[in-house]
Amino acid sequence: MFAPVYLDHNATTPLDPAVREAMLPWLGERFGNASSRHEYGRAARKAIDEARAQVAVAVNAHPTEVIFTSGGSEANNLFIKGAAASMKPGLVAVSAVEHPCVREPATQLVRSGWRCVEIGVDTHGLIDLQAFEGVLAEKPKLVSVMLANNETGVIQDIAALAAGVRAKGGWMHCDAVQALGKIDVDFRALGVHGLSVSAHKIYGPLGAGALIVDKRVELAPLIAGGGQERNLRSGTENVMAVVGFGKACELAVAARQERAQRLAGLQLRLEAGLVQLGGQIFSAAARRLSNTSFFAFEGVDGETLVGKLDRAGFAVASGSACSSANPEPSHALMAMGVGESLARAAVRVSLGAGSTQQDVDGFLKALGENLASLRTLAAIAV
């Protein structure tokens, strides 16, 4: 079967063979419920405890601070909604470039008497410090800013932002889903109250994530029931996925530095080629993830280009948050002040562990050929 070159690792990553091996026993002879008191249950509980420790080591947290969830979206919702439910309504602030699974739950709090504001960013996608100081002056109760943006790859100075929030008595949350495995993610050094991470971005299984939460923070559960995960996430644990998450964290920590250096070289090669073809690279002057390049070619629709590249054998992403009825330009780019037409032209390439120089060179060749055909069609249409 034909398999396109995969250049969309910020969407999800392939399962690492070592992770698969760790998970396989829990698809067969090992099937206990971790709440059971017999040997099968004790084995499942031990496996979960070991995975919890592996996740904790990856982010410099204590195992008791790790709450397993179904993924990053649930972890983000658990902190924002769970924290809000434990306090009187006030101001919740999220950055203007957050993922929808942060923006949406924050917006939903308005129905419960909260006020929600977005913290503006500059043209590079970095938090506008003047806007941030304005928000701090209003003493927000909850603030959420992502560590690394899933589209642009821009890395925020979370430690400095968190210090400001703490000084005003607020709780700081950080979505670190895209950052884990690519840069150092240190729960203690960041100084946040909650940190969200996910397995499938680090060559682990889909359907597993975690909220790392300061034990001094009171959260109300989203899912009530049997009291699993410190009464914060009831339900029989997905032992197979949790075990895979733990193994993926162990491997990610071991490979992070070497992989980041290698991908940085590929990113330089890719972006030099993009510029040579006339592309504009978003957030080029900001500190970014070494695997992420978000770019556009003026007058070339991003969705159309992504489709053509897919047929040419390269899987990449567009900058639109699309539904079948209402495709929208990138929320992050619009917040950065990028014009709508250019935002609709945006395409993202996100490299991964298996990416090679041959992949990059082949992509640039296919891109150049498809740009030429699209520009010819545009000229004819005019």
249 is catalytic: no
Tell me the CA distances in angstroms from 171 to 89, 116, 124, 374, one per residue in order: 13, 15, 26, 49
For 330, list phi and psi in degrees, rounded to 5.
Answer: -55, 125
Ordered strands of the 292-296 beta sheet = 280-281, 292-296, 346-350, 317-318
CB count within 10 Å of CB 300 equals: 19
How many residues does this entry show for the chain? Answer: 382
Q: Two tokens at 72?
A: 């990053």
Tell me the CA distances in angstroms from 85 to 101, 142, 282, one per residue in order: 17, 12, 38
CB count within 10 Å of CB 322 equals: 12
**94: enclosing H helix or E strand:** strand 91-95
Using alpha carbons, select from 210, 198, 351, 363 the residue that is nearest to residue 288: 351
- CA 40, distance to chain mean position in Å, is 35
Using CB atoms within 10 Å of the CB of residue 159, give its burial: 0 to 12 exposed, 13 to 18 middle, 19+ buried: middle
CB count within 10 Å of CB 165 equals: 26
Residue type, 142: L
As beta bridge partners, residue 319 has: none
CB count within 10 Å of CB 250 equals: 20
Q: Residue 10: helix, strand or coil by DSSP?
A: coil
CA-to-CA distance for 324 and 45, rounded, in angstroms? 43
Using CB atoms within 10 Å of the CB of residue 216, give its burial: 0 to 12 exposed, 13 to 18 middle, 19+ buried: exposed
- Active-site pick, 101, 116, 249, 322: 322
CA-to-CA distance for 51 and 28, rounded, in angstroms? 19
Do residues 256 and 57 make contact, with C-beta atoms less than 8 angstroms apart? no
The residues that are catalytic are: 322
